[in-house]
């Protein structure tokens, strides 16, 4: 089947319900696999850079869900290598953690671990190594992406790869403060960006990712934003890749704070905390 990468375990794809038991794939599964493969293409050069420094790559996948991404990354890049590389799936739903553990055992993927933890628990967990090289969060809904960022910053992770999903928190604050924006002569025109409910939701979603990028830059990361897949495959197609370069922090931190003030979002300063 030409959509499947060479060496990919068909048994894994069946267990993930991407392939049916007779080896067929429906349109929805084809889209899902294409999306994960596209993400893997962005992650592969990061893994190679880490591997040059040390072979025992440590990955944490936040909001892992059914761990599609973790399993496919391990199957493609780690299962044939005899080293201490490991992928940790962090998930708050204990039933999904249990299922992922069972599947890793069934497939003989010894370098995969699944932990039932919140982000706060994960930061302090003794079950995770002190050094984490790469943090991923694929379609972790609402504030789960921000939780993954917080974890990565606390752990001083080299690479962060995020595919944000639905975000409602910023839109809710925009909605709450709309009347204050309309009263302010200085901000009245900007209030038009979120006057209609649909625009509030879409602008809030876009603004959330802008703030996330500034937050990462304010912690010394170089940030690249691109498409995960084309619009024909998913409406949630933004991909944020951050690489720690120890860049100057003051200017992006200032821009972030100014943007929060301008849009009446000062109360969200703790969510998008900076070092400055």
> DSSP code of 72?
H
H or E stretch including 227? strand 221-227
Cα separation of 209 and 108, whole Å?
A: 37
Q: Which of 23-37, 144-158, 239-253 has the lowest mean pLDDT?
A: 23-37
What is the pLDDT of the chain when averaged over all its residues?
Answer: 87
Let me know the angle formed at the C-alpha of 241 by 141 and 159, rounded to the nearest 5 degrees.
100
pLDDT at residue 211 is higher than 90: yes
Q: Give the mean pLDDT of 30-52.
A: 91
Cα separation of 32 and 202, whole Å?
A: 23
Quick check: 89 and 70 in contact, CB under 8 A?
yes
Please, which residues have CB within 8 angstroms of residue 245's CB and are 6 or more apart in sequence? 220, 221, 222
Cα separation of 75 and 164, whole Å?
A: 24
Cα separation of 38 and 3, whole Å?
A: 12
Q: Which of 27-36, 130-139, 159-168 holds the top average pLDDT?
A: 130-139
Residue 127: what pLDDT? Answer: 95
Structure tokens at 199: 């625009």
pLDDT 10s digits, 96-139: 999 999 999 999 999 999 999 988 899 999 999 999 999 999 87
pLDDT at residue 243 is higher than 80: yes
> Hey, where are the domains in the chain?
1-165, 168-219+248-271
Superfamily of the domain at 1-165: Vaccinia Virus protein VP39 (3.40.50.150)
Residue 144: what pLDDT? Answer: 81
Q: Which of 45-54, 124-133, 184-193, 209-218 has the lowest mean pLDDT?
A: 184-193
Helix, strand, coil in percent for the chain, rounding step 5? 50, 15, 40
Please, which residues have CB within 8 angstroms of residue 258's CB and are 6 or more apart in sequence? none
- pTM (whole model) above 0.85: yes
Q: Residue 133: phi, psi to the nearest 5?
A: -90, -35
Quick check: 63 and 100 in contact, CB under 8 A?
no
Residue 236: what pLDDT? Answer: 64
> What percent of the chain shows pLDDT beyond 70?
90
């Amino acid at each position: 089947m030409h959509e499947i990468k060479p060496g990919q375990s068909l048994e894994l794809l069946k267990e993930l319900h991407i392939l049916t038991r007779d080896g067929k794939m429906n349109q929805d599964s084809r889209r899902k696999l294409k999306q994960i493969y596209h993400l893997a293409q962005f992650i592969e050069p990061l893994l190679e850079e880490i591997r040059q420094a040390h072979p025992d790559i440590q990955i944490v996948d936040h909001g892992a869900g059914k761990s599609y991404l973790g399993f496919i990354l391990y199957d493609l890049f780690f299962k044939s290598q005899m080293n201490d590389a490991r992928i940790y799936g962090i998930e708050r739903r204990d039933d999904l953690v249990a299922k992922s553990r069972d599947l890793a055992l069934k497939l003989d993927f010894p370098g995969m671990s699944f932990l039932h933890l919140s982000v706060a628990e994960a930061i302090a967990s003794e079950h995770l190594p002190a050094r984490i090289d790469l943090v991923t969060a694929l379609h972790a809904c609402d504030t789960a992406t921000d939780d993954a960022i917080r974890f990565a910053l606390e752990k001083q992770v080299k690479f962060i790869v995020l595919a944000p999903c639905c975000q409602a928190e910023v839109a809710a604050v925009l909605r709450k403060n709309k009347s204050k924006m309309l009263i302010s002569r200085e901000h009245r025109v900007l209030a038009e960006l979120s006057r209609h409910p649909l625009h509030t939701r879409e602008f809030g979603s876009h603004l959330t990712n802008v703030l996330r990028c500034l937050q990462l830059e304010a912690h010394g990361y170089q940030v690249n934003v691109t498409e995960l897949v084309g619009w024909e495959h998913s409406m949630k197609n933004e991909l944020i890749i951050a690489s720690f370069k120890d860049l100057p922090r003051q200017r992006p931190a200032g821009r972030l704070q100014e943007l929060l003030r301008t849009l009446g979002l000062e109360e969200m300063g703790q969510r998008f905390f900076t070092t400055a």
